[in-house]
Amino acid sequence: MKRLVLILLALGASGNAIAGWHSAAQDIFGTEVSVQLWHDDNRAGVDAISAVFDEMHRIDALMSTWRDDTEMAAVNAGAAATPVEVSVELFELIRRALELGTLTRGAFDITYASAGFLFDYRERVRPGQAALDDALAVVDYRLVRLDREACTVFFPRAGMRIDLGGIAKGHAVERGVKILRKLGVAHALVSAGGDARVLGDRRGRPWAVGIRNPRGERDAVYATLPLVDEAISTSGDYERYFEEDGKRYHHIINPRTGDSPSDVRSVSVIGPDGVRTDGLSTGVFVLGVADGLELIESLAGYEAVIIDAELQLHVSSGFDSLKQ
């Protein structure tokens, strides 16, 4: 568990010993997915958690770009030659991702992958400038052609690719909470790495979601947010990266330059929709403090907490109480 440490500690002390509370975690999407919920029927509580994990595995099998047997992989393999038909779910998520491209004026751009795939953070691989420039020439979300009637995706340029890594976990968390709601659960927290959604409260008090200290130990909490019925997504420069000559190459890429932004270290976005908070946290990371906060201020219901390179905190206007 990464950023929601406070909650895990609290549950560690009480855990399943208190009747009604259930929690479990699994590795999915290359990160830890965890579910905590209240159900007064033990069996039903355990089954509800399983249903969420099943849903997450289903989404991973649809959207992962790490596997070559997914719908997403088929799009990247074929869409530059001919329109590729996809499921309504994938189509809709790609459509929403392109919308986020417009909203963030290209800071969030799923075609970043045309250049992004040249990096391998585990193997410390990065492209040379010429290869990067070639790839950047086809990074532009506005080029992607969606045909709603045929439910197809088409890339009009050779070498174009997309990746939903900046939005898929938000989607998964939303779907997980929807399932829980249908099963009659009223108090839950579903998280997938840096993306989480809380359903209801924690029976009489808000859920406490921690934001990790970007340069602390894995369990060092920088700030805690009390949340009820909200989604929260955090993007950090500490998830996947390598360093070379004092420069950090991490998994968030500025679609215009191919660089990893270095003026902020962590961005959390809170709001009513987890797909949006996920895309926005990545987008605001690229935009930086001033432009990022300006975007968040323009969106009703959304707030942001940004930790910059000097570990200074910047918050949107909904956080007046944090500002002192």
Residues that bind ligand ADP (CB under 6 A): 108-110, 112, 163, 165-166, 169, 193-195, 235, 239, 251-253, 255, 278, 281-282, 286
Residue of minimal CB distance from ligand ADP?
A: 165
Closest CB to Mg ion among 170 and 200? 170
Buried b (16+ CB within 10 A) or exposed e, 251-287: bbbbbeebebbeebbbbbbbbebbbbbbbbbbbbbbb
The residue to which tokens 């950023």 are assigned: 3
Displacement of CA 308 from its chain's centroid (Å): 19
Closest CB 278 distance from Mg ion, rounded Å: 4
Closest CB 242 distance from ligand ADP, rounded Å: 14
Which one of ligand ADP, Mg ion, none is in contact with 169 (Cβ closer than 5 to 8 A by kind)? ligand ADP
The residue to which tokens 């934001």 are assigned: 211
Closest CB 233 distance from Mg ion, rounded Å: 5
Residue of minimal CB distance from Mg ion?
A: 282
Closest CB to ligand ADP among 86 and 110? 110
Subset of 223-242 contacting Mg ion (CB under 5 A): 235
Q: How far apart are CA 130 and CA 115, in angstroms?
A: 11
DSSP per-residue string spanning 201-270:
-SSSS-EEEEEEPTTS-TT-EEEEEEESS-EEEEEETTSSEEEETTEEEES---TTT-PPP-SEEEEEEE
Closest CB 197 distance from ligand ADP, rounded Å: 13
Q: Phi and psi dihedrals of 76, rounded to 5?
A: -65, -30
Closest CB to ligand ADP among 48 and 230? 230
Closest CB 252 distance from ligand ADP, rounded Å: 4
Identify which of 62, 65, 58 has the alpha carbon closest to the alpha carbon of residue 33: 58
Closest CB to Mg ion among 193 and 200? 193
Subset of 76-95 contacting Mg ion (CB under 5 A): none
Query: Side-chain half-sphere of 238: how many Cα atoms within 13 Å?
Result: 22
Closest CB 236 distance from Mg ion, rounded Å: 10
Which one of Mg ion, ligand ADP, none is in contact with 110 (Cβ closer than 5 to 8 A by kind)? ligand ADP
Question: With binding defined as CB under 5 A, does residue 166 bind Mg ion?
Answer: yes
Which one of ligand ADP, Mg ion, none is in contact with 109 (Cβ closer than 5 to 8 A by kind)? ligand ADP
Closest CB 48 distance from Mg ion, rounded Å: 26
Question: With binding defined as CB under 5 A, does residue 278 bind Mg ion?
Answer: yes
Which one of ligand ADP, Mg ion, none is in contact with 114 (Cβ closer than 5 to 8 A by kind)? none
Question: With binding defined as CB under 5 A, does residue 255 bind Mg ion?
Answer: no
Identify which of 50, 43, 4 has the alpha carbon closest to the alpha carbon of residue 20: 43
Q: Phi and psi dihedrals of 211, rounded to 5?
A: -105, 125
Q: In sequence order, what are the beta bridge partners of 33?
A: 26, 192
Query: Side-chain half-sphere of 14: how many Cα atoms within 13 Å?
Result: 13
Question: With binding defined as CB under 5 A, does residue 163 bind Mg ion?
Answer: no
Among 174, 281, 295, 315, binds Mg ion (CB under 5 A): 281
Closest CB to ligand ADP among 166 and 292? 166
Closest CB to ligand ADP among 257 and 312? 257
The residues near 109 (Cβ < 8 Å, ≥ 6 apart) are: 101, 139, 140, 141, 255
The residue to which tokens 């660089």 are assigned: 259
Asked whether the beta carbons of 212 and 234 are under 8 A apart, the reply is yes
Closest CB 185 distance from ligand ADP, rounded Å: 24
Displacement of CA 70 from its chain's centroid (Å): 19
Query: Interface residues with Mg ion (CB under 5 A)?
Result: 166, 235, 278, 281-282
